[in-house]
Structure 1
Amino acid sequence: MLPAQNRMTRSTEFGATVSRGTRAAQPDLVVYCLRSDQTEEAGPRVGLVVSKAVGNAVQRHQVSRRLRHVARTVLPELDVTDRVVIRALPGSRRAVSPRLEQQLRTALRRIRNRAPASMDAPS
């Protein structure tokens, strides 16, 4: 489970991250990352998008649980102002957690490599 301070809950935050963030696609996920200009937040925030294309309610819930667990493992690597949205693709229904974690890490690495110097992870 993601800590409450790291959960993205407002639709405006989701919308801004998806529309203005940097995107990296993987076979089972699409990851959007945006560096927020609000510094009063307590840490990075992560949101999930698991649509009906992934499967029925039970399958979507299983994918959401796996993605929350995977997102929790990468939280220490994110800057406190990072906003990340993970969109599950239909293939994520059959993917195991280690595969999802590897895809998330790959996507975040690709985003960091493309981002300007101000987006690089702190040293």
Structure 2
Amino acid sequence: MLPSGYRMRRRDEFTLAVRRGRRAGRPTVVAHLLRRGDAPRDDSPRTVAAGADPSAPPHVGFIVARTVGNAVVRNSVRRRLRHLVRGHLDRLPRGSLLVVRANPAAGRARPDDLAADLESALDRLLRPPTSKGRR
């Protein structure tokens, strides 16, 4: 279970992370990570939601749509993802926002495939960004 202090609950946090964060897609999950330094610089409520406090823990949210399966399948996938993310909380930067969205294949995926896809997506997101003009 994910500790309650790490849960993302506000809609504007989800929106900000999905729209402005870096994205890494895998067959069963898509992860969006917005680091504290990547947040907008104005004094809008979105800035506050983006973890303007450097000592704030990372917040994690989950999106599991109806395309994943019926309610039982969706809740099962959400519980598995929460359990898997808990093991990676120490890797996430302080004040960051992470949204994990389950793809339709997540409902049929084996637990080890779901874990491998999540770990791969997080590895890509936590890798330092490369400059696009260099070779």
Same fold at TM > 0.5: yes
Corresponding residue for 2:93? Answer: 79
Partner of 2:3: 3
**Following the alignment from structure 2 to structure 1, what is the Cα–Cα distance between the partners of residues 103 and 86?**
19
- Report the secondary structure of 2:66's partner residue: coil
| Shift, 1:44, TM fit | 1.0
SS of corresponding position for 2:126? helix
The C-alpha deviation readout for 1:52-75, integer Å capped at 9, x for no partner, is 000111110111111110111111
Runs of 4+ in structure 1 over 4 Å off: none
How much has 1:113 moved relative to structure 2? 2.8
- Structure 1, unmatched stretches of 5+, are 118-123
Q: Deviations over 1:14-58 (max 9, x none)?
A: 000000000010000000000125125531111000000001111
TM-score normalised per structure 2: 0.79
The letter for the 2-side match of 1:13 is E
Distance across 2 between alignment mates of 1:53 and 1:108: 23
- Aligned partners of 2:54 and 2:94 also within 8 Å: no
CA distance in 1, matches of 2:12, 2:120: 26
Deviations 1:78-123 (A, max 9, x none): 1112211000001101223332222112111112335369xxxxxx
Identical-pair percentage? 41
Gaps of 5+ in 2: 37-50
Would you say the 8 A contact 1:48–1:87 is kept in 2? yes
Between structure 1 and structure 2, the one with the greater Rg is 2
After superposition, where does 1:34-45 map in structure 2 within 5 Å? 34-36=34-36, 38-39=52-53, 42-45=56-59
Q: 1:116 to 1:39 in 2, by over 3 A?
A: farther
| Residues 62, 99 of structure 2: 8 Å contact kept | yes
Distance 1:2 1:55 in 2: 22
**TM-score relative to the length of structure 1:** 0.87
Query: In 2, Cα distance between the equivalents of 1:115 and 1:10?
Result: 27
